[in-house]
A and B are shown apart, each in its own frame.
Chain A
Amino acid sequence: MSTADRRSVAGRTESVWEVFARKAYDEPLHHVGTVTEDDEDLALVSARSIYDEQPWIHMIIVPRSSIREAIRP
């Protein structure tokens, strides 16, 4: 994991999670933002709290460190 994927908060290293959501079953998941938490459950709570601007029917979080680039910019 690169240092860009983690940040240190009050001496604790936290992970970045990418947040994806959709409003309808026939829509693809869209990237809506990130949350920074070392705990998976708290990351889920944060994602729901922070990105509540739309009536989502589905939201997922993915640790940034799990993403692999097929094509690099």
Chain B
Amino acid sequence: MSTPTQTDAPAEATAAMASLVASLADNKAALGRRYAEWAISAPTLESAVAAAAMAQDELGHARSTYPVLKQLGVETAEEDIGGGHRLALLDDELPDWTAFIAANLLVDGVLTTFVAACAGSSLTQLAQRARKILQEEGTHRVHAEAWARRLCRAGGRERDGLVARLRETWEEAGRWTGPDDDPGFRAAMASGMVTQSPAQQRELMRSWLVALLGAEGVEIALPEPPDWSRWDAGLRRWSP
């Protein structure tokens, strides 16, 4: 449902941000559910508690993000909450612990990088929520980094499994912000709604993860997506 926007930004910018914010909330809702499933089957009791805590954070972030859509002229009905604007890899349970950690690193990471790019947003409600989200996401990042180091140091199948899962996950998560030349995203940047372009956000992710794994002697490349033929801009979703 459409309602009057509460910003002076051009329609192109508002539409792009509405798409990003709706998908941010849907992905956080889905990620929270996927984390929660591992709260009963993580490798250790401590990891299970961490998974449950991160699930609670993500579900809370999702719930508090949906109302931001109203400022963008989109009325969210209860039945729209937890909708389908999410990555395909979050449709079903994460198949193993390395997939969990890959999502913890890259899905959580991509969403948080976008939220960080909105910390000073002209969308005041989004900027306000960004501060709390970023504070809680700090713990998620520590968890993801520590497990990445642990799996790399384990070597063999665990290390190779992580790298394979990271490559698969990047195929989808790396595309989430969309093509760098998207005119709607450019308009949103010009309106002060978001400060970093899709390519800039991908570069932040790339430099962080390449350094993290490189310190453990593991090489990985997170390339710029060369192909957008299976990208659904409406759902912000790449079909693997």
Contact = CB atoms under 8 A, between A and B. Distances in A.
Interface of A: 9-10, 14, 35-37, 39, 41-46, 48-50, 52
B43 A10 contact: yes
Contact of A49 (B49, B146, B147): B49
Instruction: Name the prevailing secondary structure of the B interface residues.
Output: helix
Given A9-B44, A10-B43, A39-B150, A45 B50 contact: yes
B143 A45 contact: yes
A41 B50 CA distance: 12
Interface string B124-153: 000000000000000100110111011000
Interface string B47-63: 10110110000000000
22 contacts: A10-B43, A14-B44, A36-B44, A36-B45, A39-B146, A39-B149, A41-B143, A42-B47, A42-B147, A42-B150, A43-B46, A44-B142, A46-B46, A46-B47, A48-B53, A48-B139, A49-B46, A49-B49, A49-B50, A49-B52, A50-B46, A52-B53
Nearest to A44: B142
Contacts of B49: 46, 49-50
A14 to B, nearest CB: 8
Contact of B46 (A10, A42, A52): A42
Nearest to A50: B49
Interface of B: 43-47, 49-50, 52-53, 139, 142-143, 145-147, 149-150
Given A50-B49, A52-B53, A45 B44 contact: no
Q: Top 10 closest A-B pairs, CB basis? A: A41-B146, A49-B53, A46-B46, A42-B146, A49-B49, A45-B143, A49-B50, A39-B146, A50-B49, A41-B142
The residue in A10, A14, A37 that gathers the most chain B C-beta atoms within 10 A of its C-beta is A37
A62 B149 CA distance: 21
Contacts of A50: 46, 49
A37 B43 CA distance: 12
A50 B52 CA distance: 10
A49 B46 CA distance: 9
A34 to B, nearest CB: 10
B146 A45 contact: yes
Contacts of B147: 42
Given A14-B44, A41-B145, 4 more contacts: A10-B43, A42-B50, A42-B146, A50-B46
A22 B83 CA distance: 41
